[in-house]
């Protein structure tokens, strides 16, 4: 129930306005979000890239204004050029949400989102790096996977994201586990109905392992997004003798990230930045009780 309430809060305009105008929150937000500007995120990415890989997300979603969607494309193109100019493109890629590129527009949404995603992919190709297309709510899954398939016609390295909480995901893993396919498997951060999603933690975990087993048996690159020590151990066991990535969020278990990298694991950090941080931040709090505890401690310490 707490997670459901937090996810509802992530969609509240009033709470968002309150959070954005509360200076007390900023130091806590900074744990999970690498600032608001390109300079901010590049400084953090350069530090992380010493021993880990990075994927950068320019925050924003559910864009209903075409001009704003175009501005998001421009932000990614500028970021990718900076990655190339700064010698980071071999260790840093980008993640994109299609709803930030036009997938939520009232007209021609898929066409516009695909065109904008192609522009980002072209900029990534020119910079010498890759793109992973984030997954959002279950109502957009078919549209998102369709756009990924279209993008892969010219850019076969485009990564897809699948959410273990969805009942359909094991079948999607089988479809996407072919040679060269980059697939990020995560648990899922959206409040989905029971008709399409597993609701219990143990059910989601079992689904995660089933999906992971499919990906590890395939010819692609599994990108395993989890902070769960048990699932990390299972990943390392199933992945013996083959390539895979462990992916973790910026600000979550950073000591474990460094330890895994030091042990020879390929670790990639999901690094978000931008002014549209509120929804992302609240979903991170909703995912793990430890994040909420950190948040509470930070507020008490600064009160």
* Residue 184 falls in the annotated catalytic set: yes
Q: Which residues of 228-267 are buried (b: 16+ CB within 10 A; e: fewer)?
A: eeebbebbeebbeeeebbbbbbbbbbeeebeebbeeebbb
Query: Of 57, 134, 191, 205, which one is the catalytic site residue?
Result: 134
Scanning the structure block, which residue is given the tokens 């608001």? 36
* Residue 74 falls in the annotated catalytic set: no
H helices present in 165-223, as ranges: 169-176, 201-217
Could you report how far apart the first and last alpha carbons of the chain are, in Å?
28
Question: Rounded to whole angstroms, how far apart are CA atoms 109 and 126?
Answer: 26
Query: Of 182, 184, 283, 284, which one is the catalytic site residue?
Result: 184
Residues 6+ apart with CB under 8 A from 159: 93, 130, 131, 132, 133, 182, 183, 184, 223
Distance of CA 254 to the CA centre of its chain: 17
Scanning the structure block, which residue is given the tokens 């501005």? 71
Question: Rounded to whole angstroms, how far apart are CA atoms 235 and 245?
Answer: 9
Q: Which residues are catalytic?
A: 134, 184
């Amino acid at each position: 129930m707490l997670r459901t309430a937090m996810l509802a809060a992530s969609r509240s305009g009033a709470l968002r306005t309150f959070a954005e105008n509360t200076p007390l929150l900023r130091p806590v937000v900074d744990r999970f979000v690498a600032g608001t500007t390109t300079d901010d995120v590049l400084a953090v990415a350069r530090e992380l890239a010493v021993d880990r890989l990075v994927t950068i997300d320019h925050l924003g979603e559910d864009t209903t204004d075409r001009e704003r969607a175009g501005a998001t494309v421009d932000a990614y193109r500028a970021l990718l050029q900076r990655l190339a100019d700064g010698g980071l493109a071999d260790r840093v890629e980008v993640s994109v949400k299609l709803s930030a590129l036009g997938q939520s527009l009232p007209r021609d949404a898929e066409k516009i989102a695909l065109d904008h995603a192609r522009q980002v992919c072209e900029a990534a190709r020119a910079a010498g790096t890759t793109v992973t297309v984030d997954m959002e709510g279950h109502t957009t899954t078919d549209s998102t996977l369709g756009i990924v398939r279209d993008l892969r016609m010219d850019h076969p390295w485009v990564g897809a994201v699948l959410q273990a909480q969805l009942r359909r995901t094991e079948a999607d893993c089988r479809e996407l586990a072919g040679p060269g396919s980059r697939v990020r498997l995560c648990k899922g951060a959206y409040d989905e109905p029971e008709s399409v999603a597993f609701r219990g933690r143990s059910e989601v975990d079992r689904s995660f392992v089933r999906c992971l087993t499919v990906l590890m048996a395939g010819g692609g690159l599994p990108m395993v997004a989890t902070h769960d020590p048990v699932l990390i151990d299972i990943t390392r066991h199933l992945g013996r003798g083959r390539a895979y990535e462990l992916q973790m969020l910026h600000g979550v278990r950073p000591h474990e990230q460094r330890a895994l990298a030091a042990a020879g694991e390929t670790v990639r950090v999901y690094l978000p930045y931008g002014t549209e941080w509120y929804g992302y931040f609240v979903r991170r709090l909703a995912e793990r009780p430890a994040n909420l505890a950190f948040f509470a401690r930070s507020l008490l310490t600064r009160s």
